[in-house]
Structure 1
Amino acid sequence: MGTDSPDTGLRGRKKARRRQEILSNASELFARQGVDATTMAEIAEASEVSPPTVFNYFGSKENILNALIFEGAERARNAHRDSPRATGKPFGDILAQLLFEFTDNTLQIAGKRVWRYAESVNIRRPNSDFQKRFATSDAALIDLLAEYLGDYDMRLLNGADPDPDFLARMFFDRWTARYFAFIKDEVMSLEAHRVDVVADTHTMVGLLFEPEFAAHSPLKKKAARS
């Protein structure tokens, strides 16, 4: 019937667990001593496997970094996409929480040091596969934010029809500026970053949205039913 045997399924699960363990150990080593200073042999030792095993799973240290960042980002986006939309409270609070969770999720994927390295690679290697995947990941996050915004019965102060894509880009760009400041400052706490994100988001919501909507965040009828 084309289904896996119990043994095949068990082997697949064991391989998936081992792969995730390698990624987790690599993340810890990258955070502690830097990506460049970390060797495949050290990743193998931390994972209690042989260096050829690590190479068989990933092929290179760059591929480990790619998997760590882009697979983690996709998992985080999927979790947000399926989450219920809050309503009945200030829109600034709702959006600020979502944007803060973007940051929190990146730290669960990797630490500040790794993200600084990844961002520097993104800048140093224009038109590389890494840069293209980074751009694709950012675009997917903006699309997610636009999808999130589109579920609300938004009303703008100027009476125009709200464009979720345009608004998503605005909020994403401002969050990105705060995120870069956060990862560049090794001593800045996550709470201090949260305070900055909340302040920025409330300011933008106050400038953009009609007060009644901003205060209560009503959902569109279709989104409220789903």
Structure 2
Amino acid sequence: MRARQKADRNRRILEAATALFREVGYDAARIEDIALRAEVSVGTFYNYYANKGDILVATVSMEVEEVLDAGRSVVDNPPPSVAESIHALVSCYYDHSLVYLSKAMWRTAMAISIQQPESPFSRRYTELDGRLCDQVSSLMEHLQGRGTIRMGLDAAALGQMVFNNLNMMFIEFVKDEEMTIGALKAAVARQNAPLAALVTADPGSPGPFSTGRTSA
């Protein structure tokens, strides 16, 4: 019961903070107002978070954890083609990106991670980026293992290339208030199409478990 109450208070604080960040902006949001909206005392707030930056990184963490959970189903059971598989995973990431954070909040999180590279916030942000990158590489390795991607390619490096591009395009997305998620996904799909074509295995080539022999 105590653990559930603690989790409930934490969730209320996060929801109150993210709502206030959206309404008045990160800089203008006051901890006293977050506590009031969450129906907790300021002292209780500080039992959970030392400052607003801690709330922001907790929100980013919550976002990424849920995205990683959604992405696992794509990695475990990807669509038939390389392009479709990449698009499915990228869509998981992008479709969830504004559930908890607005574009302005993402810009603030990115700025803090760059301005304070040695801070706990920045280290956590980098760790989360690394986990997303690893998941994209896992998808490439899975596709290579089933013979969809050509053998001999560095699948992990391929995943890193795909992630670096989708991450860069996401930065462009949060910088542009007018850009829609649909437009973002379309642009990234177009960019990934020639890469997918280059790495897709020849249907007639031996699979990963083939001996290379033909039957008599």
Structure 2 residue aligned with 1:170, among 161, 171, 180? 161
The normalised TM-score by structure 2 is: 0.84
Could you tell me which residue of structure 2 aligns to residue 133 of structure 1?
A: 124
Q: After superposition, where does 1:38-57 map in structure 2 within 5 Å?
A: 38-57=29-48
Q: Does residue 1:155 correspond to 2:146, yes or no? A: no
SS for the counterpart of 2:96 is: helix
2:16 and 2:37 in contact (8 A); partners too:
yes
CA RMSD of aligned residues (A): 2.2
Q: Does residue 1:71 correspond to 2:65, yes or no? A: no
Task: Tell me how far apart the structure 2 counterparts of residues 212 and 25 of structure 1 sit (CA, whole Å).
Answer: 53
Runs (4+) of structure 1 exceeding 4 A deviation are: none
CA deviations over 1:131-185 (Å, ceiling 9, x no partner): 22111111111111111221122433xxx51222101111011111211111100
Could you tell me which residue of structure 2 aligns to residue 61 of structure 1?
A: 52
Q: For residues 76 and 220 of structure 1, do their structure 2 counterparts lie closer, same or farther at Cα, with a shift above 3 Å needed? A: farther
Deviation, 1:110, is: 1.2
CA deviations over 1:21-66 (Å, ceiling 9, x no partner): 2101211211222211111111112212222221122122121112
Task: Tell me how far apart the structure 2 counterparts of residues 26 and 171 of structure 1 sit (CA, whole Å).
Answer: 33
1:93 and 1:202 in contact (8 A); partners too:
no
SS for the counterpart of 2:184 is: helix
Structure 2 residue aligned with 1:115, among 85, 102, 106? 106
Deviation, 1:211, is: 5.4
Task: Tell me how far apart the structure 2 counterparts of residues 82 and 92 of structure 1 sit (CA, whole Å).
Answer: 16
Could you tell me which residue of structure 2 aligns to residue 189 of structure 1?
A: 180
Could you tell me which residue of structure 2 aligns to residue 85 of structure 1?
A: 77
Q: Does residue 1:33 correspond to 2:27, yes or no? A: no
The one-letter code sitting in structure 1 at the alignment partner of 2:104 is R
The one-letter code sitting in structure 2 at the alignment partner of 1:86 is P
Deviation, 1:92, is: 0.8
* Count, aligned residues: 203
- Could you list the runs of 5+ residues in structure 2 that have no partner in the other structure? 210-216
Q: For residues 128 and 35 of structure 1, do their structure 2 counterparts lie closer, same or farther at Cα, with a shift above 3 Å needed? A: same
Could you tell me which residue of structure 2 aligns to residue 98 of structure 1?
A: 89
Between the two structures, name the one with larger relative contact order (CA 8 Å, sep ≥ 6).
1
Could you tell me which residue of structure 1 aligns to residue 191 of structure 2?
A: 200
The normalised TM-score by structure 1 is: 0.81
